[in-house]
Structure 1
Amino acid sequence: MRRLADVAIPLLFAVSTLLLLAGVAAAAAGARSVAVGLWVSATLLGMAYSTVTLVDAVRHRRPSVDVIAWLALVGALAVGEPLAGAVIAVMLASGVLLETRAEARARRELSLLAARAPRVARRLTPSGVDEVPVDEVVAGDALIVGSGEIVPVDGRLLGPAVLDESALTGEARPVERRAGEDVRSGVVNAGSPAQMRATATAGESTYAGLVRLVEHARADNAPFVRVADRFAVAFVPLTLALAGVAWALTGDAVRAVAVLVVATPCPLLLAAPIAIMSGLSRAARASVVIKGGSALERLAAGRVLLFDKTGTLTRGRPTVADIITTGSADATELLRLAASLDQTSAHVLASAIVTAAAARDLPLTMPTQVVERHGYGVEGVVDGHRVRLGKATWVVDGQAPAWVRHARRRAAMDGSLTVFASVDDIPAGVLLLEDPLRPEAPRMVRALRAAGINRMVLLTGDRADVAQMVGRIVGVDAVHAERDPAGKLAIVRAEQANQPTVMVGDGINDAPALAAADVGVALAARGVTASAEAADIVLTADRIDALADAIIIARRARRIALQAVVVGMGLSLIGMAAAAVGLLTPAVGALTQEAIDIVAIALALRALLPARTHTVVLPPGDLVTARRLFAQHHAVRPIVEQVRTVAATLTTDGDLAPARSLQDRLESDLLAHERADEAELLPIVARTLGGPETVGAISRTHAEIEHQITRLRYVLDEIGDSSDPEDVVELRGLLYGLYAILRLHNAQEEETAFSLMPAAAARYDVPG
């Protein structure tokens, strides 16, 4: 049916225009009767189309202003104004063609991801490489992706890769990924051939889900609910009344027809759909799939925003935050053994540990005799050592020693997860994993307030203390913790009773709340789940600040649509009044209405023009500098954690070697990085965000860090080779104070500076 319309509408425009122009040529040549016949044919063609649209409106019980166009065409023939009828027919055909083209453009944007869906995969087998249909790939298959090829299914990299993720994230520059990192189907291998292990089938992978989303968006877009329908109830009676009054007072039916001709509501039929479709198109280019014009308008009307925490305000996948060892165990070696064992596990924590080891370039070996016990952990042999990972009760026999209690207490305070490890049946330590806050989240919340959201609510099933901490950092108005799906749904209903709501989530447990809210927004950067299926809007990039852009785009599109409608219909009312008093004939009225159409469409097309959004685009030179400093930022993070470790292990036996070694690293590595940030990064941030005052706090902490490191050097030099308990207390106080400043400073830089990088969010999995 759609393909038939795609052919019929251009044909309608071409034939009606040809008939109009041929009639004009015939009239100019003196063949008046031929001209009239051609114009009548064009008018009848327009009447046929209008009749079809009216029947469709009646069948769907939808009010429509198409009745005015139909009456104008009939009236033009009735009063002997075939030229006016032909002009109206061309006007209607051109309007429908413009609307169809605008809708097709939006559909092309929405369909871009689906059109690139991978079809085949190259599977590694003992006999070589087999090319198979992508539907035959199963989880666990080893695959190779050649240069320029599309990743066929979701998986985990077995080696480093350079990927073009622009189709999913909008980031134009290739992104370097390490072994152990997750990779999504649909991205392009922009480097050398890369190997990966499938973690999902094709049907469960990201691209298959996106195809379903696009198909859903297509279904919602057709038929498009036109803004004109909302005005039909008032506008149609007004037009008929004015035409009737003009006829009754003058007895001239031509005036009534002239009123109907000028009233043909093309500004409503064209301007609003073009503006709304343009908004859908711009949102799609910003990595936001909006399922139809209705969803876009509801997003523009939203005033209350409700967030889920995990995966929305936080990264949604754990990262290794610290490693606590026992006795003489080495943290780096423990991480290497744990990551080697976890290479075979599909557990989400296993992926985080493998990624952490890959980030440190640790050489991993394949384990043997691997046994995974559900609910407890995994064990196997790595380089001749029996390694066990999992719960403390499985790794540590008997009553938990002090270091286990300390690790559990720290994990409880930080909201972290613990993975205990033993080597050769001897407890070796614990890996602490956390779900870090998205660095762009606080800026996104501020941007949403600037865009018109006046209330923000955090919903989570997590503990109250963790939720309150996140809520304070990002700046929400209310926090509701320890809520199950029913509890989240109840809060959405309560907020909905006061103002239009927008719910943002990414988990299966968010689906009921997403479906109940006026607008549901899901994050599908790591796959399409039930939340994405239930949502009205889906963010395909793993950056929630795209939501602020989507709201800005939606409100601008709706505002432009209303402006175009008001201006167009205002001009139409003026023209109707002029026609009623005899100032416009039907033919001149038709041309006047065409001019009004052009004005309204021109106003609507402004929605296609670039406009200021929340997203900041760094110039290429600044982006290169920011990426280099970002890499240094992560390289010195282990030094920051070393400050805490040294402070916790200081003893009164006079051994200050760890503290002196730390001091050397602080001065040679960390201070050098902070000075580079001061000299190179802060000017970039100041230029981008609007002046030196935007970086004042970061510059002040740079100075404080250098001051504290200088104090630490002074105390160590004063103590010399011997120390007493008071010296240790002073050193420990200095170190803990420095650690707190460094943690706060890193958070400031990540939120203010590094979140400006388009691919920065995807690189925050590098462990400290």
Structure 2
Amino acid sequence: MTTRLLFWLCLAGLGVGGGAWLADAPRATALAWLITTALASVPALWWVVDGLRQRRLGTDAIAVLALLGTAAVQEYLAGAIVAVMLTGGRLLEQRAEGRARRDLSALLSRVPKVAHRLEHGKIVTVDASEIRPGDLLLVRSGEVVPVDGRIEDSQQYAPRDRRTDDDGAAWPSAGSRVGAGQHGDARSRSSNAVAALLDESAVTGEPLPVEHGAGDSVPSGVVNAGEPFPMRATTDAETSTYAGIVRLAREAHAHSAPLVRMADRYAALFLPLTLLLAGAAWLVANDPVRAVAVLVVATPCPLILAAPIAFTSGLSRSARRGVIIKGGGALERLARARVLLFDKTGTVTAGRPRLNRVVTGREPGTEEEVLRLAASLDQVSAHVLATPIVRAAERAGLRLALPTSVTETPGQGMRGNVDGRAVAVGKATWVSSGTPPAWVDEVRRRAVATGSLTVFVGVDGHVAGVLLLDDPLRPEAPRTFRLLRRAGITRTVMITGDRQVVADAIADVVGADEVHAEQSPDDKVAVVRRESDRAATVMVGDGINDAPALASAGVGVALGARGATASSEAADIVITVDRLERLAETLAIARRSRTIATQSVLAGMGMSLAAMLVAAAGMLPPTAGALLQEGIDVAVILNALRALGPGLGGGAPRLRGDVAELVRRLDHEHQHLWPGIRRLPRIATAVAGTSAPLPPELLDEIEDFARTLTAHEHDDERLLYPEVAKALGGADPTGTMSRAHAEITSLLRRIRDLTTHLRSDAADIASRQELSQVLLELHAILKLHFVQEEEAFHSLAEET
């Protein structure tokens, strides 16, 4: 019998008894209410027995005593009311846990069911469990690698006289573009020609696809991001890397401690007090009815109802913010968390490559042309790095041309003609016919230090520039971590598979207390367990490699907007929107829900205790006590429902409607202004570094940037800041940022004066030196100011 059905039967029994009482049928009335009491007593007894088996004597024991006591002293109406109250509370509690976490179905469903094996020159689809070490497999585009293996030469194993397998999937030829090759030097894992391009983010946490050559080992669970490639199996499905991750997640789930309900913790104190008071009332008055009356008003509906309703309200509020929490237990554990563990890639960083800078060895102004030529060629590329390069050129408003005579060599790069010029994009040795210039070494050193990818651009046989790509920090990440600290997180620990130097740089920005870099999935689990032994923990991640750690922590939180399904299934909480700051909101909701639940429980227990004393004195019969207890329940429920609201603080301030659209427009302008900001130091060097007359086009560029920036800052100050101030509240919440606007405006005015003067007197060395200095000052303040705006204000805009 389900709890829902039991509740409705008890409610119907109470109603039938009431109808019989109105019809003046006392026997039918008593029978209906007695049956109702019996209906609730049987499962209640089972709940008590089940709790004792788990070494827990909770709230249900008082309810069982009240039910049996009302039947024994023939207070049938009181028994029926208690029955409805008990089953209703149990139903609410189950509904609060209605989104309880599922098992590892996502991890298991992602395990490849089939594989494609080469047999006698043909490709045959077989069950993945049939794969044995030594089998030759074809991994198609977009497929998950089924077992660990070693990449083979595609030419050697191409099926004879065939270009497709039985299902029509193309086998790559030796000259085909296998994943387009990795343009940059920094991430290349093999000196051989590239045979495969793999998205390893789910297993290793690496944000960018990695190229592999023939002979390289490949773990199961990674995704083929390029064209099909042949692979020699080195394990079977049971002993593969991915199967190991599944086992780790299962083991982590097995180590998770069961939730002790808040109600049961309070019942440990309330139950003995109730029994003592009921026994004393019986002994003193020699009247068992008094004892039953005490038990009836002691029936712990504040305990049964308050916590589930408060946490269910918290679940509902979180869901409206795009956060799915798998049960009230997860919300309660989150409220107690003190240590935050988090992955880097895709969690505090965007998890997607972004063009960060264009470096050239020539005069300023050539960066845009280098980017335009590279993006024009990359328009026809399917390489994963082509998209951010083309996107950056489009944001800069560059006119892209259609390339001709395009050729591509896997593992090296591509060449073609753009506007009559020979353009090459790829490795340094590929784009240049001679020895790369000396400045390239400095660029490489800088790329290694910052964890950036290098994509070299050659024009007419010479290295013209280098495109640096990185995985940027989420703009809202520092603010989110400050909010988490304010909400009660006392320690933050980064756990990542990325390199130490890259992890340290990100950790410094978000303020992590400790960093564990170059961690495998089992390493992450070990760190989580060590931290969990010290305090309540919450782990945040987004990849399959994070799934075991998510399951090991007190609370696992998955960023599910772009993360792996496996991490979402292993986690207790899934943030379905691509906003890290929802983690801080959810923690605040959890804390508030737990506070309201505690308040409701304590208030309800206090009122029940007062009623128990009155009943023990013989002034409150069982039926009246049951009705009074219902009144206490209503008060408790109304208080618990406050968790649905944002509270006095109103939660995180939000900008909506037209104002949010304005924020997004100004944020879009930021993206267009950033390239110009990054060019300012080089322009400053060019202005001061030569005695030759300044080119008019250089002054034009400076003035154009100044005009665009002036218009943007004006819109910020006049349109955006007043609305942000309303949302934030306080006396002058945007005052500091407005002061920065005033300083920027002053610098821009000085720049306009200097450029105007230099047009008439280009030989004025002092003015050129001053202009150079002002440009450097503007660069420094803009870099800080833009980051502050994006972190503090732009994250307030609601998604459409």
Bin for the TM-score computed over the shorter chain: 0.7 to 0.9
Shift of 1:632: 2.9
Aligned residue for 2:74, secondary structure, equals coil
Shift of 1:547: 0.8
Shift of 1:293: 2.2
The partner residue of 1:520 within 553, 556, 565 is: 556
Aligned residue for 1:389, secondary structure, equals strand
Where does residue 438 of structure 1 map in the other structure?
474
**How far apart in 1 are the matches of 2:416 and 2:576?**
40
Where does residue 25 of structure 1 map in the other structure?
22
Where does residue 645 of structure 1 map in the other structure?
682
Aligned letter for 2:595? R
Mean Cα displacement is larger for which, 698-707 or 451-460? Answer: 451-460
Shift of 1:734: 3.1
Normalized per residue, which structure has more helix? 1
* Alignment of structure 1 residues 331-730 onto 2, 5 Å: 331-332=367-368, 334-339=370-375, 341-342=377-378, 348-360=384-396, 362-363=399-400, 365=402, 371=408, 373=410, 376-379=411-414, 381=416, 388-396=424-432, 399-412=435-448, 414-423=450-459, 425-460=461-496, 467=503, 469-474=505-510, 476=511, 478-480=513-515, 482-485=517-520, 492=528, 495-528=531-564, 530-611=566-647, 612=649, 614-650=651-687, 651-691=690-730, 693-719=732-758, 720-723=760-763, 729-730=769-770
In structure 2, relative to structure 1, the CA distance for the partners of 1:723 and 1:308 (3 Å cut) is: farther
Contact residue 520 and residue 536 of structure 1 kept, 8 A: yes
Aligned residue for 1:700, secondary structure, equals helix
Aligned residue for 1:636, secondary structure, equals helix
Where does residue 8 of structure 1 map in the other structure?
5
**How far apart in 1 are the matches of 2:555 and 2:473?**
24
In structure 2, relative to structure 1, the CA distance for the partners of 1:695 and 1:69 (3 Å cut) is: closer
Aligned residue for 2:358, secondary structure, equals strand
1:744 aligns with 2:768: no
In structure 2, relative to structure 1, the CA distance for the partners of 1:317 and 1:95 (3 Å cut) is: same
Mean Cα displacement is larger for which, 334-343 or 31-40? Answer: 334-343
Contact residue 340 and residue 382 of structure 1 kept, 8 A: no
**How far apart in 2 are the matches of 1:748 and 1:536?**
32
Consecutive unaligned residues of structure 1, counting only runs of 5 or more, are: 115-137, 142-197, 201-218, 761-768
Shift of 1:508: 4.6
Aligned letter for 2:304? L
Contact residue 389 and residue 421 of structure 1 kept, 8 A: yes
Contact residue 579 and residue 589 of structure 1 kept, 8 A: yes
Shift of 1:89: 2.4
Shift of 1:101: 5.7
Aligned residue for 1:428, secondary structure, equals strand
In structure 2, relative to structure 1, the CA distance for the partners of 1:593 and 1:403 (3 Å cut) is: same
**How far apart in 1 are the matches of 2:767 and 2:451?**
33
Where does residue 733 of structure 1 map in the other structure?
773
1:43 aligns with 2:43: no
Aligned letter for 2:662? T
**How far apart in 2 are the matches of 1:231 and 1:453?**
25
Deviation readout 1:62-114 (Å, 9 max, x if unpaired): 5333232222222222223223222322333443454456666x68x99xxx9
Shift of 1:693: 3.4
Deviation readout 1:400-425 (Å, 9 max, x if unpaired): 31231243244356553221123565
**How far apart in 1 are the matches of 2:473 and 2:594?**
33
In structure 2, relative to structure 1, the CA distance for the partners of 1:729 and 1:434 (3 Å cut) is: farther
Aligned residue for 1:400, secondary structure, equals coil
Where does residue 262 of structure 2 map in the other structure?
227
1:293 aligns with 2:328: yes
Where does residue 63 of structure 2 map in the other structure?
69
Shift of 1:449: 2.4
Shift of 1:646: 2.1
Shift of 1:619: 4.3
In structure 2, relative to structure 1, the CA distance for the partners of 1:430 and 1:288 (3 Å cut) is: same
* Superposed CA RMSD: 3.8
**How far apart in 1 are the matches of 2:724 and 2:657?**
14
The partner residue of 1:257 within 292, 295, 300 is: 292
In structure 2, relative to structure 1, the CA distance for the partners of 1:690 and 1:484 (3 Å cut) is: same
In structure 2, relative to structure 1, the CA distance for the partners of 1:712 and 1:466 (3 Å cut) is: farther
Deviation readout 1:363-414 (Å, 9 max, x if unpaired): 57588765463xx453254668775433334434554312312432443565
**How far apart in 2 are the matches of 1:649 and 1:466?**
31
Contact residue 643 and residue 662 of structure 1 kept, 8 A: no
In structure 2, relative to structure 1, the CA distance for the partners of 1:663 and 1:389 (3 Å cut) is: closer
Shift of 1:52: 4.4
Relative to the length of structure 1, the TM-score reads 0.75
Aligned letter for 1:747? V
In structure 2, relative to structure 1, the CA distance for the partners of 1:321 and 1:684 (3 Å cut) is: same
**How far apart in 1 are the matches of 2:502 and 2:732?**
31
Aligned residue for 1:311, secondary structure, equals coil
The partner residue of 1:324 within 350, 359, 363 is: 359
Contact residue 545 and residue 615 of structure 1 kept, 8 A: no
Aligned residue for 1:322, secondary structure, equals strand
Shift of 1:556: 0.8
In structure 2, relative to structure 1, the CA distance for the partners of 1:653 and 1:690 (3 Å cut) is: same
The partner residue of 2:318 within 274, 277, 283 is: 283
Contact residue 243 and residue 259 of structure 1 kept, 8 A: yes
Aligned residue for 1:637, secondary structure, equals helix
Aligned residue for 2:468, secondary structure, equals strand
Relative to the length of structure 2, the TM-score reads 0.72
**How far apart in 1 are the matches of 2:544 and 2:643?**
35
Contact residue 323 and residue 573 of structure 2 kept, 8 A: yes
Contact residue 654 and residue 723 of structure 1 kept, 8 A: yes
Shift of 1:300: 0.7
Contact residue 312 and residue 544 of structure 1 kept, 8 A: yes
**How far apart in 2 are the matches of 1:369 and 1:655?**
38
Aligned residue for 1:693, secondary structure, equals coil
Aligned residue for 1:75, secondary structure, equals helix
Mean Cα displacement is larger for which, 51-60 or 751-760? Answer: 51-60
In structure 2, relative to structure 1, the CA distance for the partners of 1:409 and 1:295 (3 Å cut) is: same
Aligned letter for 2:474? R
In structure 2, relative to structure 1, the CA distance for the partners of 1:32 and 1:535 (3 Å cut) is: closer
Shift of 1:463: 5.9
Contact residue 495 and residue 519 of structure 2 kept, 8 A: no
Where does residue 236 of structure 1 map in the other structure?
271
**How far apart in 2 are the matches of 1:503 and 1:649?**
49
Aligned letter for 2:673? V
**How far apart in 1 are the matches of 2:568 and 2:405?**
39
**How far apart in 2 are the matches of 1:638 and 1:339?**
15
Shift of 1:276: 1.4
**How far apart in 1 are the matches of 2:735 and 2:626?**
62
Shift of 1:360: 4.5
